[in-house]
């Protein structure tokens, strides 16, 4: 694998840390700003919507730039967003900082996935994408637990200062390791937009939305589930998040390998397991040992979906993949927003802190149904004579 992929992984580590860090700091943020935990969780949904809304437009605006220049500019925007979050005097300013970082997130992973796929042989594309996303999974093993501990010990603002430093290191990695890549040619923005006429592209995006929505439906509320149902101490949250992160690393690696061998079956299997383990988490939430095991397995299934879902949209939009790739990163985060918002509604309705896990299972069933319909559509298309 080219060294440029490791530079992309470093950036993904910084982006992943700021994306997931709020999950472990909900009680601190809610207390500081005088809002409820579900209201604080809107910082998760807001970030996800920022990714979905900002990624495709920024990708289009950067269509005239080389891909390396685009990656550098996006990482600078990411750093600015986190600095604003660290200095935020109010909930609204913090949300604004999250939005800026989220805008960079959507476009960065969209462009980065295309770069990763182009740097390797066609039969290794999913593995290359998985290597880039390894940074995102390692953020959950190292960045998020460290950031949660720092936030609990020194205040949540210190966490965003830490993320800003990680962003600077990631920027240096991109400048040093990513080669100067030519500006995309052959149709430009109009060709990229034209690919959205394909039904297969929209089916791929829908698979991503509901195939990944279960992850944030559950993980957004892992802290109150652990402390309110399982009897864990607040200090145990970073440890369990690290275990969840190990599951993400394992799942990401396995998902890339399986997707290179059989793309659609890997999607069916990973989404089905994600749904199953959400049910298991709901059933064992009051048993600490079983809960930790279930969360690790849930994490494994969660990121086993990522390389296959991202590769699927690149296949569907093979003639103009950059904008579709960014849109799919947005689709992941639309799923994040739907998941965390829907789970928050169940808590507000008084259904208890295990309700997010059941919400995750329902969303997983929807995702599995869409994947089955997409597979059926692909088979029918393959049967049509040229």
Q: Which CATH architecture has domain 3-383?
A: Up-down Bundle (1.20)
DSSP conformation letters of 9-24:
HHHHHHHHHHHHGGGG
Nearest to 20 by CA among 145, 110, 114: 145
Question: Could you tell me the CA-to-CA distances from 371 to 8, 268, 367 in Å, in that order?
Answer: 29, 7, 6
Distance CA 310, CA 327 (A): 10
Task: Identify the pLDDT of residue 164.
Answer: 92
Task: Identify the pLDDT of residue 64.
Answer: 73
Please report, for the chain, the start and end positions of each structural domain, with discontinuous segments joined by +: 3-383
CB 163 within 8 A of CB 39: no
Nearest to 246 by CA among 130, 141, 135, 131: 141
Enter the tokens of residue 307.
């390389």
* Averaged pLDDT, groups of 10, the chain, 386 residues long: 82 86 80 81 80 78 78 92 91 89 85 79 79 81 80 87 90 84 62 77 91 90 86 83 86 86 88 94 91 93 88 78 78 84 88 90 93 79 50
Task: Identify the pLDDT of residue 185.
Answer: 58
CB 212 within 8 A of CB 335: yes
């Amino acid at each position: 694998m080219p060294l440029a992929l490791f530079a992309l992984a470093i950036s993904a580590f910084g982006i992943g840390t700021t994306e997931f860090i709020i999950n472990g700091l909900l009680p601190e943020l809610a207390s500081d700003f005088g809002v409820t935990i579900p209201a604080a969780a809107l910082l998760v949904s807001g970030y996800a919507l920022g990714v979905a809304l900002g990624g495709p437009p920024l990708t289009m605006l950067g269509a005239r730039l080389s891909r390396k220049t685009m990656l550098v500019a996006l990482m600078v925007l990411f750093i600015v967003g986190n600095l604003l979050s660290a200095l935020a005097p109010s909930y609204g300013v913090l949300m604004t900082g999250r939005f800026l970082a989220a805008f960079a997130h959507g476009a960065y992973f969209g462009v980065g996935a295309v770069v990763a796929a182009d740097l390797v042989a066609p039969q290794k594309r999913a593995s290359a994408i998985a290597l880039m996303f390894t940074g995102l999974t390692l953020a959950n093993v190292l960045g998020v637990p460290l950031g949660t501990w720092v936030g609990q010990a020194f205040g949540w603002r210190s966490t965003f200062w830490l993320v800003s430093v990680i962003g600077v290191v990631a920027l240096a990695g991109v400048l040093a390791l990513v080669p100067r890549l030519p500006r995309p040619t052959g149709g430009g923005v109009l060709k990229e937009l034209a690919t959205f006429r394909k039904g297969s592209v929209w089916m791929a995006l829908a698979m991503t939305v509901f195939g990944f929505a279960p992850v944030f439906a559950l993980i957004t509320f892992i802290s109150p589930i652990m402390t309110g149902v399982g009897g864990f101490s607040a200090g145990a949250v970073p440890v369990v998040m690290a275990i969840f992160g190990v599951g993400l690393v394992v799942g990401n690696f396995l998902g890339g390998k399986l997707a290179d061998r059989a793309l659609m079956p890997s999607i069916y299997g990973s989404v089905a397991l994600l749904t199953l383990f959400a049910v298991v988490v709901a059933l064992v939430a009051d048993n600490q040992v079983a809960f930790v095991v279930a969360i690790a397995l849930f994490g494994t299934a969660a990121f086993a979906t990522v390389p296959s879902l991202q590769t699927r949209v690149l296949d569907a939009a093979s003639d103009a993949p950059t904008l579709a790739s960014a849109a799919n990163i947005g689709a992941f985060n639309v799923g994040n927003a739907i998941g965390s918002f829907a789970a928050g509604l169940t808590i507000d309705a008084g259904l208890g802190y295990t309700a997010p896990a059941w919400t995750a299972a329902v969303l997983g069933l929807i995702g599995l149904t869409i994947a089955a319909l997409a597979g059926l559509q692909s088979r029918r298309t393959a049967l049509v004579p040229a």
